[in-house]
């Protein structure tokens, strides 16, 4: 059995202070999913749009 070195780093960090980002789930519109991330330290907001690949 091979040891998998899969590192699932899904945790994004604030580009400003490097704090943790809170992920807010939003309802998907069509094939795109909007995700809002808010820093718990400085309140920096990061919005990302992810495409669902089917
Ligand atoms: Zn921050």
25 Cα: distance to centroid of ligand 1 (angstroms): 19
With respect to residue 11, please indicate whether it lies within any of the assigned structural domains.
Answer: no
pLDDT at 41: 95
With respect to residue 33, please indicate whether it lies within any of the assigned structural domains.
Answer: yes
1 Cα: distance to centroid of ligand 1 (angstroms): 41
With respect to residue 34, please indicate whether it lies within any of the assigned structural domains.
Answer: yes
pLDDT band at 7 (very low <50, low <70, confident <90, very high): low
* Euclidean distance between CA atoms 22 and 37, whole angstroms: 5
Which residues constitute the domain of residue 42?
21-51
* Euclidean distance between CA atoms 14 and 29, whole angstroms: 25
With respect to residue 37, please indicate whether it lies within any of the assigned structural domains.
Answer: yes
With respect to residue 35, please indicate whether it lies within any of the assigned structural domains.
Answer: yes
38 Cα: distance to centroid of ligand 1 (angstroms): 8
| pLDDT, tens only, 25-48 | 777 778 888 888 999 999 999 887
* Euclidean distance between CA atoms 36 and 7, whole angstroms: 23
């Amino acid at each position: 059995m091979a040891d998998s070195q899969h590192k699932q780093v899904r945790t994004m960090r604030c580009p400003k202070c490097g704090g943790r980002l809170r992920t807010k789930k939003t309802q998907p519109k069509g094939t795109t999913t909007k995700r809002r991330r808010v820093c718990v330290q400085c309140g920096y907001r990061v919005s990302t749009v992810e495409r669902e690949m089917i």
